[in-house]
Protein backbone atom coordinates (compact mmCIF):
# COMPACT_ATOMS: atom_id res chain seq x y z
CA UNK A 1 0.00 0.00 0.00
CA UNK A 2 1.47 3.34 -1.00
CA UNK A 3 0.91 6.66 0.78
CA UNK A 4 -1.83 5.58 3.17
CA UNK A 5 -1.03 3.77 6.40
CA UNK A 6 -4.33 1.85 6.28
CA UNK A 7 -5.51 2.48 9.84
CA UNK A 8 -7.97 4.71 11.68
CA UNK A 9 -7.67 5.30 15.43
CA UNK A 10 -10.97 5.80 17.29
CA UNK A 11 -11.09 7.18 20.85
CA UNK A 12 -14.22 7.55 22.95
CA UNK A 13 -13.48 9.94 25.81
CA UNK A 14 -16.75 9.15 27.56
CA UNK A 15 -15.95 5.46 27.95
CA UNK A 16 -12.15 5.61 27.70
CA UNK A 17 -12.25 3.03 24.90
CA UNK A 18 -9.68 3.10 22.11
CA UNK A 19 -9.71 0.91 19.02
CA UNK A 20 -8.08 0.65 15.63
CA UNK A 21 -10.05 -0.06 12.48
CA UNK A 22 -8.94 -0.49 8.87
CA UNK A 23 -9.13 2.50 6.54
CA UNK A 24 -11.83 2.05 3.89
CA UNK A 25 -9.58 2.06 0.82
CA UNK A 26 -12.40 2.84 -1.61
CA UNK A 27 -13.20 5.87 0.53
CA UNK A 28 -9.53 6.81 0.49
CA UNK A 29 -9.38 6.51 -3.30
CA UNK A 30 -12.41 8.77 -3.73
CA UNK A 31 -11.53 11.36 -1.06
CA UNK A 32 -7.72 10.95 -0.70
CA UNK A 33 -7.29 12.22 2.89
CA UNK A 34 -7.24 15.51 4.79
CA UNK A 35 -10.29 17.65 4.11
CA UNK A 36 -11.96 15.13 1.79
CA UNK A 37 -11.63 12.11 4.06
CA UNK A 38 -12.64 14.24 7.04
CA UNK A 39 -15.82 15.43 5.31
CA UNK A 40 -16.77 11.90 4.30
CA UNK A 41 -16.26 10.55 7.82
CA UNK A 42 -18.13 13.50 9.33
CA UNK A 43 -21.13 12.80 7.09
CA UNK A 44 -21.52 9.40 8.77
CA UNK A 45 -20.54 10.48 12.28
CA UNK A 46 -22.54 13.69 12.90
CA UNK A 47 -26.10 13.89 11.66
CA UNK A 48 -28.41 16.92 11.51
CA UNK A 49 -29.35 18.77 14.66
CA UNK A 50 -26.27 17.82 16.71
CA UNK A 51 -25.08 20.66 18.98
CA UNK A 52 -21.44 21.33 17.98
CA UNK A 53 -20.44 21.58 21.64
CA UNK A 54 -22.20 18.39 22.72
CA UNK A 55 -20.52 14.99 23.23
CA UNK A 56 -22.29 13.81 20.06
CA UNK A 57 -20.05 15.97 17.89
CA UNK A 58 -16.69 14.50 16.90
CA UNK A 59 -13.21 15.75 16.12
CA UNK A 60 -11.59 14.08 13.12
CA UNK A 61 -7.85 14.52 12.57
CA UNK A 62 -6.64 13.42 9.13
CA UNK A 63 -3.43 13.51 7.14
CA UNK A 64 -3.01 12.83 3.43
CA UNK A 65 -1.45 10.27 1.13
CA UNK A 66 1.56 12.57 0.58
CA UNK A 67 1.98 13.54 4.26
CA UNK A 68 5.36 12.55 5.63
CA UNK A 69 6.79 11.46 2.28
CA UNK A 70 9.16 14.41 2.09
CA UNK A 71 7.32 15.99 -0.83
CA UNK A 72 7.22 19.78 -0.78
CA UNK A 73 5.05 21.07 2.13
CA UNK A 74 3.82 17.55 2.95
CA UNK A 75 3.68 18.47 6.63
CA UNK A 76 0.05 19.49 7.04
CA UNK A 77 -2.96 17.89 8.68
CA UNK A 78 -6.66 18.65 8.79
CA UNK A 79 -9.27 18.82 11.56
CA UNK A 80 -12.91 18.20 10.63
CA UNK A 81 -15.97 18.76 12.81
CA UNK A 82 -19.28 20.57 12.93
CA UNK A 83 -18.48 24.23 13.52
CA UNK A 84 -19.70 25.94 16.71
CA UNK A 85 -19.25 29.32 15.01
CA UNK A 86 -21.29 28.61 11.88
CA UNK A 87 -23.10 25.28 12.30
CA UNK A 88 -21.64 24.22 8.94
CA UNK A 89 -19.30 21.44 7.96
CA UNK A 90 -15.83 22.52 9.03
CA UNK A 91 -12.28 21.63 8.27
CA UNK A 92 -9.27 23.61 9.38
CA UNK A 93 -5.71 22.67 8.51
CA UNK A 94 -2.31 23.54 9.86
CA UNK A 95 1.36 23.21 9.02
CA UNK A 96 4.45 22.85 11.17
CA UNK A 97 5.56 19.39 12.29
CA UNK A 98 2.61 17.75 14.09
CA UNK A 99 0.93 16.44 10.92
CA UNK A 100 4.09 14.68 9.78
CA UNK A 101 4.57 13.15 13.23
CA UNK A 102 0.93 12.02 13.37
CA UNK A 103 1.43 10.18 10.06
CA UNK A 104 4.47 8.47 11.57
CA UNK A 105 2.30 7.01 14.33
CA UNK A 106 0.81 4.80 11.61
CA UNK A 107 -2.66 6.28 11.33
CA UNK A 108 -4.47 8.07 8.50
CA UNK A 109 -7.17 9.43 10.79
CA UNK A 110 -8.08 9.89 14.43
CA UNK A 111 -11.75 10.16 15.43
CA UNK A 112 -12.39 11.56 18.92
CA UNK A 113 -15.87 11.04 20.36
CA UNK A 114 -17.67 11.79 23.61
CA UNK A 115 -16.54 13.89 26.56
CA UNK A 116 -14.11 13.11 29.36
CA UNK A 117 -15.31 13.52 32.95
CA UNK A 118 -12.25 15.63 33.78
CA UNK A 119 -9.48 17.28 31.70
CA UNK A 120 -7.37 14.76 29.79
CA UNK A 121 -4.77 14.58 27.08
CA UNK A 122 -4.10 11.82 24.56
CA UNK A 123 -0.65 10.38 23.95
CA UNK A 124 -0.02 8.30 20.82
CA UNK A 125 3.34 6.51 20.79
CA UNK A 126 4.83 3.39 19.17
CA UNK A 127 4.08 1.41 22.34
CA UNK A 128 0.43 2.35 22.46
CA UNK A 129 -2.30 4.95 23.04
CA UNK A 130 -3.07 6.44 26.45
CA UNK A 131 -5.66 8.85 27.82
CA UNK A 132 -3.91 10.73 30.63
CA UNK A 133 -4.95 13.21 33.30
CA UNK A 134 -4.56 16.86 32.28
CA UNK A 135 -5.89 18.57 35.40
CA UNK A 136 -2.47 20.18 35.97
CA UNK A 137 -2.57 21.63 32.44
CA UNK A 138 -6.10 23.02 32.44
CA UNK A 139 -6.02 26.82 32.49
CA UNK A 140 -2.50 27.02 31.13
CA UNK A 141 -1.66 28.82 27.91
CA UNK A 142 -0.42 27.24 24.72
CA UNK A 143 3.31 27.84 25.03
CA UNK A 144 3.51 26.56 28.59
CA UNK A 145 1.35 23.53 27.82
CA UNK A 146 3.45 22.71 24.76
CA UNK A 147 6.66 22.93 26.77
CA UNK A 148 5.36 20.90 29.71
CA UNK A 149 4.31 18.09 27.37
CA UNK A 150 7.78 17.86 25.85
CA UNK A 151 7.53 19.42 22.38
CA UNK A 152 10.52 18.36 20.29
CA UNK A 153 10.32 18.84 16.51
CA UNK A 154 10.92 15.65 14.51
CA UNK A 155 10.53 13.48 17.66
CA UNK A 156 7.57 14.48 19.85
CA UNK A 157 4.96 16.99 18.80
CA UNK A 158 2.21 18.63 20.83
CA UNK A 159 -1.23 19.83 19.77
CA UNK A 160 -3.34 21.65 22.35
CA UNK A 161 -5.89 24.34 23.16
CA UNK A 162 -5.50 27.46 25.28
CA UNK A 163 -7.92 29.29 27.58
CA UNK A 164 -10.10 30.34 24.62
CA UNK A 165 -10.85 26.70 23.81
CA UNK A 166 -11.31 25.74 27.45
CA UNK A 167 -13.88 28.53 27.83
CA UNK A 168 -15.63 27.43 24.63
CA UNK A 169 -15.13 30.58 22.57
CA UNK A 170 -16.61 29.92 19.14
CA UNK A 171 -13.45 31.50 17.68
CA UNK A 172 -11.05 29.17 19.51
CA UNK A 173 -8.24 27.56 17.53
CA UNK A 174 -6.42 24.28 17.94
CA UNK A 175 -2.70 25.02 18.22
CA UNK A 176 0.19 22.75 17.32
CA UNK A 177 3.95 23.00 17.71
CA UNK A 178 3.50 26.04 19.93
CA UNK A 179 2.51 28.66 17.38
CA UNK A 180 0.76 26.91 14.47
CA UNK A 181 -3.01 26.89 14.28
CA UNK A 182 -5.98 25.06 12.84
CA UNK A 183 -8.04 28.12 13.49
CA UNK A 184 -11.13 29.03 11.56
CA UNK A 185 -14.62 28.08 12.72
CA UNK A 186 -13.92 27.27 16.36
CA UNK A 187 -12.47 23.72 16.42
CA UNK A 188 -10.71 24.64 19.67
CA UNK A 189 -14.09 25.05 21.35
CA UNK A 190 -15.10 21.54 20.25
CA UNK A 191 -11.89 20.21 21.75
CA UNK A 192 -12.56 22.16 24.95
CA UNK A 193 -16.13 20.86 25.13
CA UNK A 194 -14.68 17.35 25.30
CA UNK A 195 -12.33 18.27 28.17
CA UNK A 196 -9.48 17.40 25.83
CA UNK A 197 -6.48 19.63 26.46
CA UNK A 198 -3.87 18.13 24.15
CA UNK A 199 -2.81 15.34 21.79
CA UNK A 200 0.85 14.32 21.82
CA UNK A 201 2.29 12.21 19.00
CA UNK A 202 5.51 10.24 18.62
CA UNK A 203 6.07 7.93 15.68
CA UNK A 204 8.65 5.94 13.78
CA UNK A 205 6.70 4.54 10.81
CA UNK A 206 7.13 5.78 7.25
CA UNK A 207 4.63 5.74 4.38
CA UNK A 208 5.52 3.48 1.48
CA UNK A 209 6.22 5.08 -1.90
CA UNK A 210 5.37 2.70 -4.75
CA UNK A 211 7.36 4.32 -7.57
CA UNK A 212 10.47 5.76 -5.94
CA UNK A 213 12.12 6.91 -9.16
CA UNK A 214 9.08 8.80 -10.39
CA UNK A 215 8.60 10.32 -6.93
CA UNK A 216 12.21 11.57 -6.88
CA UNK A 217 11.74 13.08 -10.33
CA UNK A 218 8.52 14.84 -9.31
CA UNK A 219 10.21 16.15 -6.17
CA UNK A 220 13.04 17.53 -8.29
CA UNK A 221 10.56 19.17 -10.67
CA UNK A 222 8.60 20.73 -7.82
CA UNK A 223 11.73 22.24 -6.29
CA UNK A 224 12.75 23.63 -9.67
CA UNK A 225 9.35 25.23 -10.24
CA UNK A 226 9.22 26.76 -6.78
CA UNK A 227 12.67 28.28 -7.33
CA UNK A 228 11.53 29.68 -10.68
CA UNK A 229 8.47 31.42 -9.24
CA UNK A 230 9.19 34.99 -8.03
CA UNK A 231 6.45 34.64 -5.44
CA UNK A 232 7.68 31.43 -3.80
CA UNK A 233 11.42 32.03 -4.25
CA UNK A 234 11.64 35.77 -3.51
CA UNK A 235 8.53 37.60 -2.28
CA UNK A 236 7.33 35.11 0.34
CA UNK A 237 10.78 34.28 1.77
CA UNK A 238 11.79 37.96 1.90
CA UNK A 239 8.60 39.59 3.15
CA UNK A 240 6.32 36.73 4.22
CA UNK A 241 2.62 36.71 3.46
CA UNK A 242 2.40 40.37 4.51
CA UNK A 243 3.93 41.21 1.14
CA UNK A 244 0.31 41.23 -0.05
CA UNK A 245 -0.86 44.05 2.19
CA UNK A 246 0.49 46.92 0.11
CA UNK A 247 -0.64 45.26 -3.14
CA UNK A 248 -4.23 44.71 -2.01
CA UNK A 249 -4.40 48.19 -0.52
CA UNK A 250 -3.14 49.77 -3.75
CA UNK A 251 -6.00 48.31 -5.81
CA UNK A 252 -8.60 49.44 -3.27
CA UNK A 253 -9.56 46.01 -1.90
CA UNK A 254 -8.17 46.17 1.66
CA UNK A 255 -11.15 46.26 4.06
CA UNK A 256 -10.70 49.08 6.53
CA UNK A 257 -12.56 49.99 9.74
CA UNK A 258 -15.00 47.09 9.59
CA UNK A 259 -15.28 47.35 5.79
CA UNK A 260 -16.39 50.99 5.85
CA UNK A 261 -13.52 51.81 3.46
CA UNK A 262 -11.45 49.72 1.06
CA UNK A 263 -8.10 51.45 1.52
CA UNK A 264 -6.06 52.11 4.65
CA UNK A 265 -4.19 55.41 4.66
CA UNK A 266 -1.50 53.96 6.96
CA UNK A 267 -0.94 50.71 5.05
CA UNK A 268 2.80 51.32 4.65
CA UNK A 269 3.19 51.41 8.44
CA UNK A 270 1.99 47.80 8.77
CA UNK A 271 3.28 46.36 5.48
CA UNK A 272 5.51 43.34 4.99
CA UNK A 273 8.32 45.72 4.16
CA UNK A 274 7.89 47.55 7.49
CA UNK A 275 7.78 44.25 9.33
CA UNK A 276 11.05 43.15 7.74
CA UNK A 277 12.78 46.45 8.35
CA UNK A 278 11.79 47.00 11.97
CA UNK A 279 10.90 43.71 13.65
CA UNK A 280 12.23 40.70 11.72
CA UNK A 281 14.61 38.38 13.55
CA UNK A 282 14.85 35.57 10.99
CA UNK A 283 12.90 33.37 8.59
CA UNK A 284 11.63 29.92 9.47
CA UNK A 285 9.77 27.11 7.72
CA UNK A 286 7.56 24.08 8.23
CA UNK A 287 8.84 20.52 7.81
CA UNK A 288 9.75 19.71 4.17
CA UNK A 289 9.10 23.28 3.00
CA UNK A 290 11.61 25.05 0.74
CA UNK A 291 9.64 28.34 0.69
CA UNK A 292 10.22 29.52 4.26
CA UNK A 293 7.55 32.22 4.53
CA UNK A 294 7.42 32.11 8.34
CA UNK A 295 8.66 35.28 10.03
CA UNK A 296 10.17 35.28 13.51
CA UNK A 297 9.59 38.79 14.84
CA UNK A 298 10.45 40.60 18.05
CA UNK A 299 9.14 43.65 19.88
CA UNK A 300 10.06 44.95 23.32
CA UNK A 301 7.44 42.58 24.77
CA UNK A 302 7.30 39.41 22.66
CA UNK A 303 9.23 37.24 20.22
CA UNK A 304 7.66 34.58 18.02
CA UNK A 305 6.13 33.60 14.69
CA UNK A 306 4.12 36.00 12.58
CA UNK A 307 2.03 37.90 12.09
CA UNK A 308 0.73 36.70 8.72
CA UNK A 309 -1.00 39.02 6.24
CA UNK A 310 -4.53 38.18 7.40
CA UNK A 311 -3.62 38.78 11.04
CA UNK A 312 -1.84 42.06 10.27
CA UNK A 313 -4.94 43.21 8.41
CA UNK A 314 -7.41 42.01 11.07
CA UNK A 315 -5.74 43.90 13.94
CA UNK A 316 -4.47 46.65 11.63
CA UNK A 317 -6.56 48.12 8.82
CA UNK A 318 -9.79 46.43 9.94
CA UNK A 319 -9.42 48.08 13.37
CA UNK A 320 -7.96 51.32 12.00
CA UNK A 321 -4.65 50.62 13.78
CA UNK A 322 -1.20 51.37 12.37
CA UNK A 323 0.88 50.37 15.42
CA UNK A 324 2.77 47.37 14.06
CA UNK A 325 4.29 46.46 17.42
CA UNK A 326 0.81 46.27 18.97
CA UNK A 327 -0.33 44.06 16.07
CA UNK A 328 2.63 41.70 16.53
CA UNK A 329 1.85 41.48 20.25
CA UNK A 330 -1.84 40.83 19.58
CA UNK A 331 -0.85 37.99 17.25
CA UNK A 332 1.45 36.45 19.86
CA UNK A 333 -1.29 36.72 22.48
CA UNK A 334 -3.83 35.04 20.18
CA UNK A 335 -1.42 32.16 19.63
CA UNK A 336 -0.92 31.76 23.37
CA UNK A 337 -4.63 32.04 24.22
CA UNK A 338 -5.64 29.89 21.24
CA UNK A 339 -7.66 32.27 19.06
CA UNK A 340 -8.41 32.52 15.34
CA UNK A 341 -6.80 35.90 14.60
CA UNK A 342 -9.08 36.73 11.65
CA UNK A 343 -12.31 36.28 13.58
CA UNK A 344 -10.88 37.81 16.76
CA UNK A 345 -9.64 40.95 14.99
CA UNK A 346 -12.77 41.37 12.91
CA UNK A 347 -14.98 40.91 15.98
CA UNK A 348 -13.06 43.65 17.78
CA UNK A 349 -13.50 45.87 14.71
CA UNK A 350 -17.24 45.22 14.78
CA UNK A 351 -17.28 46.11 18.48
CA UNK A 352 -15.42 49.33 17.70
CA UNK A 353 -18.09 50.39 15.23
CA UNK A 354 -20.92 49.40 17.58
CA UNK A 355 -19.26 51.38 20.37
CA UNK A 356 -18.81 54.45 18.19
CA UNK A 357 -22.52 54.26 17.33
CA UNK A 358 -23.43 54.09 21.01
CA UNK A 359 -24.79 50.54 20.73
CA UNK A 360 -22.13 48.89 22.90
CA UNK A 361 -20.92 50.19 26.24
CA UNK A 362 -17.15 50.02 25.84
CA UNK A 363 -14.08 52.18 25.28
CA UNK A 364 -13.29 50.38 22.02
CA UNK A 365 -12.82 52.82 19.14
CA UNK A 366 -11.08 52.55 15.78
CA UNK A 367 -7.38 53.18 16.27
CA UNK A 368 -7.23 52.12 19.95
CA UNK A 369 -4.17 49.88 19.71
CA UNK A 370 -3.80 50.01 23.50
CA UNK A 371 -7.04 48.03 23.92
CA UNK A 372 -6.17 45.06 21.69
CA UNK A 373 -4.33 42.98 24.30
CA UNK A 374 -6.69 43.57 27.25
CA UNK A 375 -9.71 42.88 25.04
CA UNK A 376 -8.24 39.58 23.85
CA UNK A 377 -7.47 38.58 27.43
CA UNK A 378 -11.05 39.34 28.44
CA UNK A 379 -12.41 37.39 25.47
CA UNK A 380 -10.42 34.28 26.36
CA UNK A 381 -11.67 34.37 29.95
CA UNK A 382 -15.21 35.53 29.05
CA UNK A 383 -14.84 38.45 31.42
CA UNK A 384 -16.26 42.00 31.19
CA UNK A 385 -16.51 43.19 27.57
CA UNK A 386 -14.84 39.95 26.49
CA UNK A 387 -17.96 38.00 27.41
CA UNK A 388 -19.81 39.99 24.74
CA UNK A 389 -17.18 39.33 22.06
CA UNK A 390 -16.13 35.73 22.76
CA UNK A 391 -18.49 34.06 20.28
CA UNK A 392 -17.87 36.22 17.24
CA UNK A 393 -19.15 39.34 15.54
CA UNK A 394 -22.52 38.01 14.35
CA UNK A 395 -23.72 37.08 17.82
CA UNK A 396 -22.34 40.38 19.16
CA UNK A 397 -23.95 42.57 16.50
CA UNK A 398 -27.24 40.67 16.74
CA UNK A 399 -27.45 41.28 20.47
CA UNK A 400 -26.89 44.99 19.76
CA UNK A 401 -29.72 45.00 17.22
CA UNK A 402 -27.47 45.53 14.16
CA UNK A 403 -26.55 42.09 12.77
CA UNK A 404 -25.69 43.69 9.41
CA UNK A 405 -22.59 45.26 11.01
CA UNK A 406 -20.99 41.83 11.32
CA UNK A 407 -18.86 41.26 8.23
CA UNK A 408 -19.50 37.54 7.87
CA UNK A 409 -20.79 34.78 5.61
CA UNK A 410 -22.72 31.99 7.34
CA UNK A 411 -21.42 33.36 10.65
CA UNK A 412 -17.69 33.29 9.81
CA UNK A 413 -15.89 36.62 9.66
CA UNK A 414 -14.55 37.62 6.24
CA UNK A 415 -10.80 37.87 5.59
CA UNK A 416 -8.68 40.63 4.09
CA UNK A 417 -10.12 41.14 0.60
CA UNK A 418 -13.02 43.52 -0.08
CA UNK A 419 -15.29 41.85 -2.67
CA UNK A 420 -16.39 45.23 -3.97
CA UNK A 421 -12.91 45.47 -5.48
CA UNK A 422 -12.62 41.75 -6.38
CA UNK A 423 -15.93 40.50 -7.75
CA UNK A 424 -14.90 36.85 -7.99
CA UNK A 425 -13.77 36.91 -4.38
CA UNK A 426 -17.29 37.90 -3.36
CA UNK A 427 -18.77 34.90 -5.15
CA UNK A 428 -16.12 32.73 -3.52
CA UNK A 429 -17.07 33.99 -0.05
CA UNK A 430 -20.81 33.57 -0.59
CA UNK A 431 -20.52 29.96 -1.77
CA UNK A 432 -17.83 28.82 0.68
CA UNK A 433 -19.04 25.74 2.51
CA UNK A 434 -17.43 26.68 5.82
CA UNK A 435 -18.43 30.37 5.75
CA UNK A 436 -16.50 33.54 4.84
CA UNK A 437 -13.16 32.15 3.75
CA UNK A 438 -10.44 32.93 1.21
CA UNK A 439 -8.85 29.49 1.48
CA UNK A 440 -11.64 27.80 -0.48
CA UNK A 441 -10.15 28.92 -3.79
CA UNK A 442 -8.65 32.38 -3.41
CA UNK A 443 -9.15 34.54 -6.52
CA UNK A 444 -6.13 36.68 -5.62
CA UNK A 445 -3.95 35.04 -8.25
CA UNK A 446 -6.34 35.66 -11.13
CA UNK A 447 -7.85 39.00 -10.09
CA UNK A 448 -4.73 40.70 -8.70
CA UNK A 449 -1.42 38.88 -9.23
CA UNK A 450 -1.91 37.52 -12.75
CA UNK A 451 -1.25 33.91 -11.71
CA UNK A 452 -1.55 32.03 -14.00
CA UNK A 453 -3.13 34.95 -15.90
CA UNK A 454 -4.82 38.24 -15.09
CA UNK A 455 -8.56 38.71 -15.49
CA UNK A 456 -10.58 41.88 -14.92
CA UNK A 457 -11.31 42.02 -11.19
CA UNK A 458 -14.54 43.92 -11.87
CA UNK A 459 -15.75 41.39 -14.45
CA UNK A 460 -19.00 39.67 -13.49
CA UNK A 461 -20.11 37.51 -16.41
CA UNK A 462 -18.16 34.26 -16.68
CA UNK A 463 -16.54 34.61 -13.25
CA UNK A 464 -18.24 31.51 -11.87
CA UNK A 465 -16.14 29.18 -14.05
CA UNK A 466 -12.92 30.46 -12.50
CA UNK A 467 -14.32 30.35 -8.95
CA UNK A 468 -15.53 26.77 -9.35
CA UNK A 469 -12.22 25.60 -10.80
CA UNK A 470 -10.36 27.21 -7.91
CA UNK A 471 -12.76 25.73 -5.34
CA UNK A 472 -12.38 22.23 -6.77
CA UNK A 473 -8.59 22.47 -7.00
CA UNK A 474 -8.43 23.87 -3.47
CA UNK A 475 -10.47 20.96 -2.10
CA UNK A 476 -8.09 18.51 -3.78
CA UNK A 477 -4.97 20.24 -2.41
CA UNK A 478 -6.52 20.36 1.07
CA UNK A 479 -7.03 16.61 0.81
CA UNK A 480 -3.46 15.80 -0.19
CA UNK A 481 -2.77 17.82 2.39
CA UNK A 482 -0.38 20.43 0.94
CA UNK A 483 0.25 24.12 1.50
CA UNK A 484 -1.62 26.37 -0.95
CA UNK A 485 1.57 28.33 -1.61
CA UNK A 486 3.03 25.28 -3.35
CA UNK A 487 0.27 25.65 -5.94
CA UNK A 488 1.55 29.18 -6.68
CA UNK A 489 4.50 27.59 -8.45
CA UNK A 490 3.53 23.95 -9.06
CA UNK A 491 0.57 23.04 -11.27
CA UNK A 492 -2.17 20.54 -10.48
CA UNK A 493 -0.83 18.05 -13.01
CA UNK A 494 2.37 17.68 -10.94
CA UNK A 495 0.32 16.87 -7.84
CA UNK A 496 -1.61 14.22 -9.76
CA UNK A 497 1.56 12.57 -11.02
CA UNK A 498 3.15 12.66 -7.56
CA UNK A 499 0.05 11.11 -6.00
CA UNK A 500 0.19 8.37 -8.63
CA UNK A 501 3.84 7.68 -7.89
CA UNK A 502 3.24 7.43 -4.15
CA UNK A 503 0.03 5.38 -4.13
CA UNK A 504 0.38 3.30 -7.27
CA UNK A 505 -3.12 4.42 -8.31
CA UNK A 506 -3.30 6.29 -11.60
CA UNK A 507 -4.52 9.85 -11.06
CA UNK A 508 -4.71 12.21 -14.02
CA UNK A 509 -5.11 15.97 -13.51
CA UNK A 510 -8.79 15.67 -14.32
CA UNK A 511 -9.20 12.90 -11.75
CA UNK A 512 -7.70 15.10 -9.04
CA UNK A 513 -9.93 18.06 -9.89
CA UNK A 514 -12.94 15.75 -10.05
CA UNK A 515 -12.04 14.55 -6.55
CA UNK A 516 -12.13 18.18 -5.43
CA UNK A 517 -15.53 18.61 -7.05
CA UNK A 518 -16.78 15.49 -5.27
CA UNK A 519 -15.63 16.89 -1.93
CA UNK A 520 -17.18 20.29 -2.55
CA UNK A 521 -20.53 18.75 -3.42
CA UNK A 522 -20.46 16.48 -0.37
CA UNK A 523 -19.81 19.49 1.87
CA UNK A 524 -22.72 21.27 0.20
CA UNK A 525 -24.96 18.29 0.91
CA UNK A 526 -23.88 18.32 4.55
CA UNK A 527 -24.86 21.98 4.94
CA UNK A 528 -28.18 21.41 3.17
CA UNK A 529 -28.87 18.55 5.55
CA UNK A 530 -28.22 20.97 8.41
CA UNK A 531 -30.86 23.36 7.06
CA UNK A 532 -28.76 25.86 5.11
CA UNK A 533 -30.44 27.26 1.98
CA UNK A 534 -29.81 29.53 -0.98
CA UNK A 535 -30.49 32.51 1.32
CA UNK A 536 -27.26 31.73 3.18
CA UNK A 537 -25.17 32.17 0.01
CA UNK A 538 -24.92 35.91 0.45
CA UNK A 539 -22.69 38.75 1.63
CA UNK A 540 -23.08 41.46 4.28
CA UNK A 541 -25.54 44.17 3.29
CA UNK A 542 -22.76 46.76 3.37
CA UNK A 543 -20.89 45.03 0.57
CA UNK A 544 -24.00 44.57 -1.56
CA UNK A 545 -25.49 48.04 -1.14
CA UNK A 546 -22.85 50.56 -0.01
CA UNK A 547 -20.50 51.57 -2.86
CA UNK A 548 -16.84 52.19 -2.13
CA UNK A 549 -16.56 55.95 -1.57
CA UNK A 550 -13.12 56.61 -3.05
CA UNK A 551 -9.97 55.04 -4.48
CA UNK A 552 -9.47 52.55 -7.34
CA UNK A 553 -12.69 50.64 -6.49
CA UNK A 554 -14.81 53.77 -6.11
CA UNK A 555 -18.50 53.31 -6.89
CA UNK A 556 -18.47 49.51 -6.82
CA UNK A 557 -20.60 47.12 -4.80
CA UNK A 558 -20.53 43.33 -5.07
CA UNK A 559 -22.61 42.19 -8.07
CA UNK A 560 -23.35 38.88 -6.40
CA UNK A 561 -26.77 37.86 -7.70
CA UNK A 562 -25.97 37.41 -11.42
CA UNK A 563 -22.76 35.58 -10.54
CA UNK A 564 -24.62 33.31 -8.13
CA UNK A 565 -27.23 32.28 -10.70
CA UNK A 566 -24.49 31.49 -13.19
CA UNK A 567 -22.56 29.61 -10.50
CA UNK A 568 -25.46 27.28 -9.70
CA UNK A 569 -25.98 26.46 -13.39
CA UNK A 570 -22.30 25.81 -13.94
CA UNK A 571 -22.08 23.64 -10.83
CA UNK A 572 -24.97 21.45 -12.01
CA UNK A 573 -27.14 22.56 -9.11
CA UNK A 574 -30.77 23.64 -9.31
CA UNK A 575 -31.98 27.22 -8.80
CA UNK A 576 -32.09 26.64 -5.04
CA UNK A 577 -28.45 25.57 -4.95
CA UNK A 578 -29.16 21.85 -4.50
CA UNK A 579 -26.95 19.44 -6.50
CA UNK A 580 -29.01 17.63 -9.12
CA UNK A 581 -29.21 13.81 -9.05
CA UNK A 582 -27.27 13.49 -12.31
CA UNK A 583 -24.42 15.57 -10.86
CA UNK A 584 -24.28 13.43 -7.72
CA UNK A 585 -24.32 10.22 -9.73
CA UNK A 586 -21.43 11.43 -11.87
CA UNK A 587 -19.43 12.17 -8.70
CA UNK A 588 -20.13 8.79 -7.05
CA UNK A 589 -22.33 10.54 -4.49
CA UNK A 590 -25.66 9.04 -5.56
CA UNK A 591 -26.03 7.25 -2.22
CA UNK A 592 -26.07 10.61 -0.40
CA UNK A 593 -29.84 10.81 -0.78
CA UNK A 594 -30.89 12.53 2.45
CA UNK A 595 -31.21 15.97 0.83
CA UNK A 596 -30.78 15.29 -2.88
Fold (CATH) for 240-409: 1.10.569
Second CATH level (architecture) for the domain 423-538+559-586: Orthogonal Bundle (1.10)
**Which tens digit of pLDDT belongs to each residue from 263-309?**
999 999 999 999 999 999 999 999 999 999 999 999 999 999 999 99
pLDDT attached to residue 595? 52
Q: Which residue has the higher pLDDT, 321 or 592?
A: 321
Q: Are 225 and 493 in contact (CB under 8 A)?
A: no
CB atoms within 10 A of CB 552: 15
Residue 60 pairs in a beta bridge with: 80, 111
Sheet with 294-298, side-by-side order of all strands: 280-284, 294-298, 303-305
Q: Are 314 and 148 in contact (CB under 8 A)?
A: no
224-262 pLDDT per residue, tens: 999 999 989 998 988 889 989 999 999 999 999 999 999
Q: Where are the domains of the chain?
A: 7-201, 240-409, 423-538+559-586
Rounded Cα distance, 249 and 247, in Å: 5
Query: Do 423-538+559-586 and 240-409 fall under one CATH topology?
Result: no
Q: How far apart are CA 133 and CA 342, in angstroms?
A: 32
Quickly state the pLDDT bin for 594 (edges 50, 70, 90).
low
| pTM score | 0.97
Residue 76's pLDDT is 97
User: Which of 208, 205, 204 minimizes the C-alpha distance to 2?
Assistant: 208
Q: Return the pLDDT at 201.
A: 98
What would the CATH number be for the domain defined by 7-201? 3.60.9.10
Give the chain's mean pLDDT.
96
Q: How far apart are CA 376 and CA 16, in angstroms?
A: 34
Amino acid sequence: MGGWMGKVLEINLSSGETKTSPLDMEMARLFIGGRGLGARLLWDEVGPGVDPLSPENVLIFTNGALTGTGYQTSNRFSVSTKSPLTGTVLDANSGGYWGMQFKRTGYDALIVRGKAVRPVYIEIKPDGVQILDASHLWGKRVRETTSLLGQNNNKRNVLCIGPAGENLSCMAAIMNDGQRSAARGGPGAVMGSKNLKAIVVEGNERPEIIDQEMFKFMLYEARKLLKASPLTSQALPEFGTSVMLHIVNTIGALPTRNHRQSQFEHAEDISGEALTEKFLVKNDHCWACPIGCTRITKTDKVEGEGPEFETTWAFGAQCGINDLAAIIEANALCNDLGFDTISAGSTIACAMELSELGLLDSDLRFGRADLLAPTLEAMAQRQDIGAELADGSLRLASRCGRPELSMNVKGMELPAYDPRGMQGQGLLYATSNRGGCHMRGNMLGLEVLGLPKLIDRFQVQGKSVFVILHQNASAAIDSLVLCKFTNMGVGDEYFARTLSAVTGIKYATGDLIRTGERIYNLERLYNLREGFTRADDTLPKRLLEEPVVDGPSKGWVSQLEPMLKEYYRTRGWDESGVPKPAKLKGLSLADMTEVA
